[in-house]
Amino acid sequence: MLVIFVLTILKLSAQDTLVFSQENSSLFSNKYFLYPKSKTFEHKFKTDDGQIWYGKGTYEINKKKLILSFGDSEKDIKNENRVTKVYDRINKTDTLLVEIFDKKLNSSSGHIKFKEKYFYGDFENGTIKIPKSIFENTENPVVETFIQGSLVNIELTKIAELNVLKITAFDIYSYYHFESNFERVLTFNNDELKSDDFYNTTNKRKVKFIIEK
């Protein structure tokens, strides 16, 4: 048993990524991704009804235990989905530039809608140019865009000073449950992980994760 354990540790250190998948998971996907070089991990659990549980952090192996320390799992994904407004009080412009970038599709195309009027980006870089004159007599106008299957409403303030509107999306269509700031311990044995959780199993059997070859 000691030899097997040592060989497994060597395997963990040699590979870039180790993926452990929950067995008998045809209707859902529950996986742990271990990154031995950085001693970090990700947990991705996609349920059969479209929900996503996501966690990340650091790990250590102590004897036959895999100790997962979940950090701020929400931070990075929130940073990917954001709306940024660039203001300039001195260099005011008559045109509002809108930049839309879909990181999931690696695409910069999109449109903006305001009061039944549509504005589309140019063919070169996808930048949308909107004359600020259309916002006259409208205090804090709301524009719409449609990205990744979702309608996004954006309120604009201080139109005279607003020069650029940046919309960045990574995965805004999925609904995330974030696992953050706690510790989870799994039983570690050769190419398997076992959890004390019983979700999606019968007879209260411990959940088993098998390494992907």
d(CA 210, CA 201): 15
Does the pLDDT value for residue 64 go beyond 50? Answer: yes
**Which whole number is the average pLDDT over 96-119?**
87
- pTM, full prediction: 0.57
Q: What is the pLDDT of residue 73?
A: 87
| pLDDT tens digits, 129-167 | 999 999 988 889 999 988 777 788 899 999 999 999 998
Domains and CATH numbers, the chain: 2-76+175-211 (2.40.128.50), 82-169 (2.60.40)
